Amino acid sequence: MSDAPSIDHILIVGGGTAGWMTAAYLARRLGAMRPDGVRITLIESSEIGIIGVGEGTFPTIQNTMRTIGVDEARFMREAGAAFKQGIKFVDWKTAPQDGVHSHYYHPFAQPRLLNGGLDLAPYWLMGEAGNIPFSDAVTLQDKVCDAMRGPKRLDDPQYGGPMTYAYHFDAGKLAGLLRDVGKATGVKHVLGNVLSVNKTDDGSIASVTTREHGDLVADLYIDCTGFAGALIGEAMGSAWIDKGDTLFVDRALALQVPYDRPDAPVAATTISTAHEAGWTWDIGLPERRGTGYVYSSRHTTDDRAEQILRGYVGKAGEGLNPRLLKLKVGHRDRHWIKNCVAVGLSGGFLEPLESTGIVLIEAAAYMLARNLPRRGGMEAAARQFNTAMTDRYLRAIDFIKLHYCLSQRTDNGFWTDNADPASIPESLQDHLAMWKHRPPNVFDFPNLHESFKYFNYQYILYGMGFETTVDPAAHVHGDLARADFGRVREAGLRAAASLPDHRALLTDVYTKGFSTKAPDLAAAEAGEAPRR
């Protein structure tokens, strides 16, 4: 394929969250309903279900849904969504002893920078906050989450509020909502099964052959076929780079369980609890809990994994059968080859610990929309895209591995193997060596579009008990820091007392909606890329 032809028609192969989020986003940003816009077609098979492991998101999802043009209350109702303010990590630092459990939070809020931008981390390390967990000392969100409060009030603006937040949702319902929105904004929906991919002499995709509709022709093909990678892998030959030597989990048992009573509290965070060979997720939705056990088949058996999961959910799981999912952790060596781009699981998967699945879809869709080589320059655009996506995957791998390698658990080879330096990427080892002598800062992550910022690393490091030695002579504003810690504490108490109960807020959102209209597309486009 020449580097010159225009991109006037994009064919997305595969639906689900990846396909329909990409389709709806591109349709809005590329003017699919305008005569001069880019036509968007999505073909999906009714015979292929949604994997739907991840039911959590980053705060980036607010900008994505706002850009797509979805009212926040409608989004929450139709996706069965609840608010998410971060992750509560239970028993990750040490195994429970005599029924005593430890925990820490990874909140979405950025640490408060008070008194002229003073970084409080060194002063927390020096003990100026007293015996208070790091995240509780520098944000309001711990107290809000402990109190089971929502992140906003009904009269706050749509896609905004006092607390930084994302959502938990029903994966199947979200895909349905995105399908409806995509079709309403110009996406042509085709039901069918792709049988083969046809290529030109130069290796580009010429068309895809379907069972029901013959050959479908486009200028750019987006592979959203999941782990199958039918276009980017099978047809275009992009190799899969396995990361199982760094991230060990390769199985998941998923189980949807009811609440014990209709008015049961809805958790404001994902609850991630470490176990002998992996961890359980526990996601609160208005009508049910989404639970599951992610584990390493090299360190346990499927039967033992089911015992762990059933032990965690208790009576709520009686009479219910978990769904077994086999996970392939890694990413493609190239995400864009010729006129084929991988988005979602076809491009990579890094386990659901920090909800990276959705944010990587968002990142890919955003880059495609902003940098689409519509009138030429495809080869250069592909190189840029590949560099950016590979970097995102590698940095996300480092961040996820951080949770495991800092654990002091020794109750299973899973944890001791994770602490083995041979399993830790050199880039993360270098950072850990530096962070023994100073906290993470902005200069550690020069990429503007990093999924995880320096403060995300601080939350994990100091939640897990990582020791950083700081020089008191270089940090002489202890009096200011102590005052700041006090202000954060008081503000947290006020927020926990004044924000509404999470379940009560969800009931109001579902029945009444928010009092303000959603910002228009132009307002959404004024922002930068969806980021944390």
Q: Which of 84, 93, 338, 401 is catalytic?
A: 84
Q: Within a 10 A sphere around the Cβ of 359, how many other Cβ atoms? A: 24
For residues 153 and 515, what is the distance between their CA atoms, to the nearest angstrom?
A: 10
pLDDT at 446: 87
pLDDT at 524: 44
Residue ranges of the chain with pLDDT lower than 70?
A: 1-4, 48-54, 517-532
Q: Which of 338, 361, 353 is nearest to 224 (CA)?
A: 361
Q: Which of 407, 461, 409, 471 is nearest to 432 (CA)?
A: 461
Residue 12 near residue 22 (C-beta atoms within 8 A): yes
Length of the chain measured in residues: 532
pLDDT at 121: 97
For residues 187 and 182, what is the distance between their CA atoms, to the nearest angstrom?
A: 5
Q: Which of 460, 151, 90 is nearest to 282 (CA)?
A: 90
pLDDT at 517: 66
Burial grade of 130 (CB within 10 A; 0-12, 13-18, 19 or more): exposed
For residues 380 and 444, what is the distance between their CA atoms, to the nearest angstrom?
A: 27
Annotation says 84 is catalytic? yes
The β-bridge relationship of strands 82-84 and 251-257 is unpaired
pLDDT at 520: 54
Query: Which CB contacts under 8 angstroms, 24+ apart, belong to 424-427?
Result: 424/246, 425/246, 425/394, 425/397, 425/398, 425/401, 427/394, 427/398
pLDDT at 4: 59
Question: What b/e string do you get for 379-391 counting C-beta neighbours within 10 Å, with b at 16 or more?
Answer: eebbeebbebbbe
pLDDT tens-place string over residues 261-305 = 999 999 999 999 999 999 999 999 999 999 999 999 999 999 999
At 30, list the tokens. 């590329």
Q: Which of 453, 464, 458 is nearest to 415 (CA)?
A: 464
Q: Is 466 left (phi over 0), alpha (psi -120 to 50) or beta?
A: beta
pLDDT at 425: 98
pLDDT tens-place string over residues 354-375 = 999 999 999 999 999 999 999 9
Q: What is the arrangement of strands in the sheet containing 214-216, beginning at the earlier edge strand?
A: 194-199, 205-210, 214-216
For residues 39 and 8, what is the distance between their CA atoms, to the nearest angstrom?
A: 6
Residue 393 near residue 350 (C-beta atoms within 8 A): yes
- Structural domains in the chain, sorted by start: 9-81+168-242+331-393 (3.50.50.60)
